[in-house]
Amino acid sequence: MNVRMGPWSLRVAPRALAVTALLLVIACAAALAAISTGEFFVSVPDILTALFGQGTPVAELIVSKLRAPRVATGLLVGAAFGVSGAIFQSLTRNPLGSPDFIGFTAGASTGGILAVVAGGSALTIAGGALTGCVVTALLVYALAFRRGVQGYRLVLVGIGVNALLLSANSYLLTRANINDAATAGAWLTGSLSGRGWDHAIPVALALVVLLPVCAAVARPLRMIEMGDDSARAMGINVERVRAAAIVSGVLLCGVATAAAGPVVFVALAAPQLAQRLTRSPGVTLASSALMGAVLLTVSDLLAQRLLAPTQLPVGVLTAAIGGTYLAFLLRKDRH
């Protein structure tokens, strides 16, 4: 549906708009449920007053210091993974072309493990994860480059690099002392436990900076999906668009992994679910981001409440959900 506003024309997809609005409502409801429930119940009015610094000391401690930062980190990390997955699935023209499969998450894990083994702090581990993700992306891009980067080459090279990095990660864990191995193993699972505003703010800044870039390349990426020659015939600088998309997707994946660890399958499932619900071609940025936020926040809520008082790392639940979805995807799209 086209909407004209003076000299401007805006195309609106009612179904995509409705799905995006519904996902936004679900994300807000999940966030409120995660903040309000637990050993100490906090009502919605008390949550709002506590966030504005006008609640009771107990409510402010629970909401502002403990629960709200964790929920905010989950929402932002899920959104970052969702957008990153959407970018790479469009680049590779393959639903398996997510950071989980083409080595970027494994590279971030390698960087994080090396930082743990070196005795680094939480900030050093986050920096190691981001560095590992970027270095792995450069390696995969270099190996896949041959007169440009084709989607199938990127996927195949990424799967090979991913296998090598997973082996390297296992080796590093066997060579580490028991305390470092336990710390690295817990981080590798992916968790939002103990996350504060210092984890949420960097992801928010990354999204503010990189989302406009992703929005700018979304339409050219849709043209590139039809083939490089067709895109060049329309005046699109294919390699420049592809490079900008890869840089944005890698940085989003790296920052998200640095904040919450390598939470698996969110980047795979979120864009696919969003695209199937909206039935929109190309990169569905808003719905993919919100779907990633919903998946991670709801998974963390279930991980906290499902086996209370024992809490599961959120990565355990996303792996179970994502593995089930992957099996469905492979069965449905056997080709």
132-146 pLDDT, tens digit each: 999 998 898 888 877
- Domains of the chain, start order: 12-62 (no CATH), 76-332 (1.10.3470.10)
Confidence of residue 334 (pLDDT cuts 50, 70, 90): low
How far apart, in whole angstroms, are the C-alpha atoms of residue 159 and residue 97?
A: 9
Quote the pTM value.
0.89
pLDDT tens for each residue of 181-190: 888 888 888 8
The band of 157, judged by pLDDT with boundaries at 50, 70 and 90, is confident
Residue at 151: amino acid letter? G
Please check the confidence at residue 306 and state whether its pLDDT lies above 50.
yes
User: pLDDT tier at 101 (50, 70, 90 boundaries)?
Assistant: confident
Q: What percentage of the chain carries pLDDT values higher than 90?
A: 29
d(CA 74, CA 71): 5
Amino acid (1-letter code) at residue 7: P
Whether the per-residue pLDDT at 152 is higher than 80: the answer is no
Torsion angle, alpha carbons of 118, 124, 125, 127, to 10: -130
C-alpha 84/C-alpha 185 separation (Å) is 24
Residue bearing the bigger pLDDT, 209 or 56: 209
**Rounded to an integer, what distance in angstroms lies between the CA atom of residue 133 and that of residue 177?**
24
Asked if residue 73 lies in contact with residue 66, where contact means CB atoms within 8 angstroms, the answer is no
Mean pLDDT in residue range 144-158: 76
